[in-house]
Structure 1
């Protein structure tokens, strides 16, 4: 037996790889800017249906293939699975309202008041988009909790010369850049931000007490654990990530798409303030308050969770406690 083989046999086993946390996975995917599209088709009754998507991608030039992915839990899985085709409508910056409309689960008829026309394949093509691709279904594959629809482009067209609507780190890039400027210039007052945090996350905590799954409550507790495990040598980026994950976990547990978008905007503000304005220092005095938020959520005690968060925000603004 050679030394190399012997060494391989007696080597220490490979350390287990930590499982991928869905919330962090989603946050890190948000570091990659993507365009925003509305994917449309017709249901079994011929009615136009559609949804907002940022998973659109090109696949092949010859033949011309594109794809998008759709959650298996989506109410439109049946419509897209049974359809013979679909259309990709690339949105411009001026069409951000359409993005919100087709992303909302509260609007029954997404096409009401929306200017569109039937393309050569009969698929709904939205007017004034940057580009549109009308496709026949080439293939559909299952992949984890999504279906991947691959379409062969049969017709396409270009629109105006506006800039594309871009999604980045949970916000539209144009909005994210504007927020960054406001934060760095100090034009967002602390009192206004505190009021916004109390109002938004207070509402999300109340909803979470009614709607959160056990896994989502576990995610809040894991976010608290991560903050408490920080060491003095940890980087600023690590501390910002942990603080952001705590608030993101609360937003996820609230199960309200509109409030989640607002929470993503507040998270963008939090990141910029912690990076450029407010020093991020260890605050062990705040550990019990975050822990209390998590405990109250577990008990479905909305009043207790909101009170703990309110005290957390108050103490954060007062700064670190004086040395004993």
Structure 2
């Protein structure tokens, strides 16, 4: 007797994939008019040594999909730690001319090669394969060059590894006070709640409710890692409902701080007394009452801090 296949939750799938650290690259090409085009990518991988093949994958929803499918080739520009701003620039949907103010040159094949990268590979398109919600582009490397001797820019669990390492150091050294963290969360998630009241779909509000139910149904003996993950889903669902990529990145950064504190610094205990306040936040969101949602969040933070004192943290209510 065969068992039914388990449904793969997209958000968890993406999170678990993030456990595999990857380098960050900017993939470039030229459009039909010869203008440079490019985007940030962490799906770059080697394929073959003979012939020399590499690949990257591109979302079917990408605005540059037609540009890459029509181009004869592309270039892979591997970024260093000092080029994290370039990563953000080429990942932003709000910047039309990604190459404005960026130092680059034309490669042997005419592909845009960004200066000072760790390495660059100029490729002819070898194959393009349909793969779910992405296309996989395979390129045959025709020219390559090395550059900066800096460390690679690495993406890990939703953040640049150099940032995650810095946050870990700050937490372990006790240089991040809980009062400052609480104030930051109140401001950050207060803004996200206001946005969610205006922008969230019913499906996104249902996701928040599912996260609330998951937290409330956790057994008292649930492992700390499970409690942290359930809370991360709750706050992550609020961030997603706010529809602001920059604030979502800030939320991921603050989640890293709280996770480090939970793991290495603070004692923990369950706080079922906070369940009603989380429900109040959800109900306010469904009524599209931003003022009530933010007020409930403020009371949640204050009550959680008052109940725990200085040495414990709500292990069911980690802001993430």
**Which aligned segments of 4 or more residues in structure 1 are displaced greater than 3 angstroms?**
none
- The question of whether the paired residues in 2 share the 8 Å contact of 1:95 and 1:165 is answered with yes
Larger displacement relative to structure 2 (291-300 or 184-193): 291-300
Task: Tell whether 2:160 aligns with 1:179.
Answer: no
1:88 Cα offset (Å): 0.6
2:21 corresponds to which residue?
33
1:297 Cα offset (Å): 2.3
Distance 2:199 2:58 in 1: 23
Correspondence list, 1:12-51, <5 A = 14=3, 16-51=4-39
SS of 2:123's equivalent? strand
Quickly say closer, same or farther: Cα 1:271–1:130, change in 2 above 3 A: same
Distance 2:205 2:32 in 1: 39
Q: Which runs of 5+ in 1 are unaligned?
A: 1-10
Task: Tell whether 2:192 aligns with 1:204.
Answer: yes
Quickly say closer, same or farther: Cα 1:31–1:149, change in 2 above 3 A: same
Task: Tell whether 2:243 aligns with 1:262.
Answer: no
Task: Say how many residue pairs are matched.
Answer: 309
SS of 1:140's equivalent? strand
Q: Deviations over 1:199-226 (max 9, x none)?
A: 1111112222222233322222222122
TM-score, normalised via structure 2 length: 0.92
Larger displacement relative to structure 2 (271-280 or 30-39): 271-280
TM-score, normalised via structure 1 length: 0.91
Q: Which runs of 5+ in 2 are unaligned?
A: 310-320
Structure showing greater radius of gyration is 1
1:86 corresponds to which residue?
74
- The question of whether the paired residues in 2 share the 8 Å contact of 1:42 and 1:48 is answered with yes
Task: Tell whether 2:198 aligns with 1:230.
Answer: no
Distance 1:218 1:113 in 2: 43
1:126 corresponds to which residue?
114
1:272 Cα offset (Å): 0.8
Distance 2:116 2:63 in 1: 27
1:7 corresponds to which residue?
none
CA-atom RMSD, angstroms?
Answer: 1.6
